[in-house]
A and B are shown apart, each in its own frame.
Chain A
């Protein structure tokens, strides 16, 4: 990664590249607008939405306050129902536990249900290093995995891809992973979904081990809950003989009845539906299956210790805050350099990694290194590197789609200092407009946490200098008029990049085109547009 300029944070650099990608911007705008409209309609339909939201917030706060008690209750309930509970203090430990459990079954492949927690800990890479192939089964995850790409949205990880791109990925890559795409595949969403169905069918029916996450865990009963749409979740949860679920400790709810609140809040907030197509709940070992629950800390207790920041642990990963965020809509998910993008990522990532105060990542945070796999079938990301092809990060950058730094961070290949720099910049990835707070079903005051984290992060010097210069010009109308006319005449000579310390400013922002005539001059000349 290139040297940093004046300590300018990484997010702005990533964002500048992403904003320059018009296909990405178009895909994002189209998708987020669709989903915003649907969410608004579904939320508007519920008369007591605000009460529901308050209840969601309170249940979560209560659970977090008594998390130790509820974790013990959960452990006992899962064990009583025939499941085994494992505790993982950090990513490495969770990966070791899961790999060990898979090895104990004698299998060398697993099917996976989309799970943020397993992405956070880099499970697929860790399994590959031990010769175990993890097959993603969620359509969007499949697109990401086949395309040797990175997720860019919590709910729809391939939101940055349009149908034509998805068709190309399927045609080029499906054969490498299993059943090839049909010869005559079109870019009709229905045809693409059908291709995914055929591609994964045999895999579902024959794979003996599955790895999942969970949306909720019920302390009282030991029940786990997974919401999904496609049925790949049901396939993974139902058919394999062994099920391993990796779940963050903050996913707890005290009682079974609490689920009524979250089963109303989540589907309407996330996919904008009254209910998602499938929700599965199971308690311990079901229908003769072997069940393991891996409880994951990996920085969560650090977040819990921050009085202001701990509200981020209420998050139910609905992604509503991403879909309304003007910054996210323009830059996309990759610029955030984490599996948690958007407003929630801006507050969660630095806290989870423990880099919110600019310190380097401690061992308990997200992984700092993912060892390359020595052998066995490896996921695309690892194979690309070991075969000596261009690594994913380079390919993606050359496509202009992803910044190298983002790739490196979420793959965990970035040095801790660079991670810290990126994380320190994340709290600035917001205009503090407050839209994220408005839509959050558990009322996380994201702007409040952003401001709190900004106070802890180091401030870039160039930004302060530029602000001071701007203040001097904008302060005096005469100076402003003169400066505007001057810049209008000289605009052909304006570089895309400002010289000196201000370069850092333009490295991260596009200089708007300078109009030939200033607004004030135009107003005088045309009498407010009437002449």
Chain B
């Protein structure tokens, strides 16, 4: 008997005669996106010691430039599909220092970059989480992983109230990365310290 058949037959023997347990239907009623969703999201992101700004659409480009200047970033990755207005802000500020990922950058090239500027797929207000799905504005997963600085732009309309709404909005066929603050560890005396292998600085610009 193959191990597959063996395991399946062991499972069937183990649960034979056990009472059925129904699969629960959907739980708590989905929360409505309220007035305060943007403020809640910004506050919760900040709780992870990420840097957060909430700006009007007309201020987005300026916020990008200011952030890159503060960071003194010289080489920044710009994924394909980043809205032209945002990509232009990076190029205007850095010139040749704004690098695309086409053809794909090597791991070493990514490691040599100062940072990356992306959009996102979904923001979750309750937990201050950003979800990336490798779609347009975001690029492949390594882009937001290897460079030490991640500047992420979130449009207010992308923010959902809680985790259930986010799960419903996302496509599991795409590789997803849920990001809640900068890389951190609690492995030393269970104290949270920011900054291990992922980007040590996460800066979020919420565009109303």
B-binding segment of A226-234, A337-345, A468-476, A484-492: A226-234
Q: Tally the A-B contacts, defined by beta carbons under 8 Å.
A: 239
CA distance A520 to B128 in the complex (A): 58
In whole Å, how far is A247's beta carbon from the nearest beta carbon of chain B?
13
- Does B15 contact A139, Cβ atoms closer than 8 Å? no
Cα of A218 to Cα of B171 in the assembled complex, Å = 13
**A304, B15: Cα distance in complex, Å:** 7
Chain B residues with Cβ under 8 A from A232's Cβ?
196-197
User: Hey, which chain A residues are within 8 Å of B11, CB to CB?
Assistant: 67-68, 71, 249, 301, 304
Residues of chain B contacted by A304 (CB below 8 angstroms): 10-11, 14-15
Interface centre among B10, B145, B179, B190, by most chain A C-beta atoms within 10 angstroms, is B190
A254 to B22, CA, bound (A): 12
Contact of A68 (CB < 8 Å), options: B12, B141, B163, B192: B12
Bound form: Cα–Cα A255–B172 in Å: 11
Contact A256 B167 (CB under 8 A): yes
Chain B, interface size category, equals: 35 or more
B140: A residues at CB distance < 8 A: 287
A234's partner among B127, B128, B141, B189 (CB-CB below 8 A) is B141
Please tell me if the beta carbons of A263 and B163 are within 8 angstroms of each other in the complex.
yes
On whether the beta carbons of B188 and A307 are closer than 8 Å, the reply is: no
Chain A residues near B10: list those with CB within 8 A.
297, 301-302, 304-305
> Among A158, A261, A295, which residue has its beta carbon within 8 angstroms of that of B187?
A158
Contacts of B22 in A (CB 8 A): 58, 62
In the bound complex, residues from chain A placing their C-beta under 8 Å from that of B21 are 58, 61-62, 65
User: What band does the interface of chain A fall in when counting residues whose beta carbon is under 8 Å from B?
Assistant: 35 or more
Q: Which of B6, B23, B145, B190 contacts A238 (CB 8 A)?
A: B145
Does chain A have a CB within 8 A of B70?
A: no
Establish whether residues A230 and B175, one from each chain, have CB atoms under 8 Å apart when the complex forms: no
If A65-B21, A261-B27 touch, whether A189 touches B193 (CB-CB below 8 Å) is yes
Contact A197 B196 (CB under 8 A): yes
Closest 10 CB pairs of A and B: A231-B198, A231-B197, A301-B10, A230-B196, A305-B14, A279-B178, A304-B14, A275-B180, A140-B187, A260-B164
20 pairs, CB–CB < 8 Å, chain A vs chain B: A31-B189, A31-B190, A62-B21, A87-B2, A139-B187, A156-B186, A189-B191, A189-B193, A193-B195, A230-B197, A234-B177, A259-B167, A260-B163, A261-B27, A274-B128, A279-B176, A279-B178, A281-B172, A287-B175, A304-B15
Residues of B within 8 A of A (CB): 2-4, 6-8, 10-15, 18-24, 26-28, 44, 47-48, 107-108, 111, 124, 126-129, 134, 140-142, 145-146, 163-164, 166-168, 172-193, 195-199
Q: Footprint of B on A, CB under 8 Å?
A: 27, 30-32, 34-35, 48, 51-52, 55, 58-59, 61-68, 71-72, 81, 87-89, 93, 137-140, 143, 156, 158-159, 162-163, 166, 189-190, 192-194, 196-197, 200-201, 204-206, 218, 221, 223, 229-232, 234-235, 238-239, 249, 254-257, 259-261, 263-264, 271, 273-283, 286-287, 295, 297, 301-302, 304-305, 307, 310
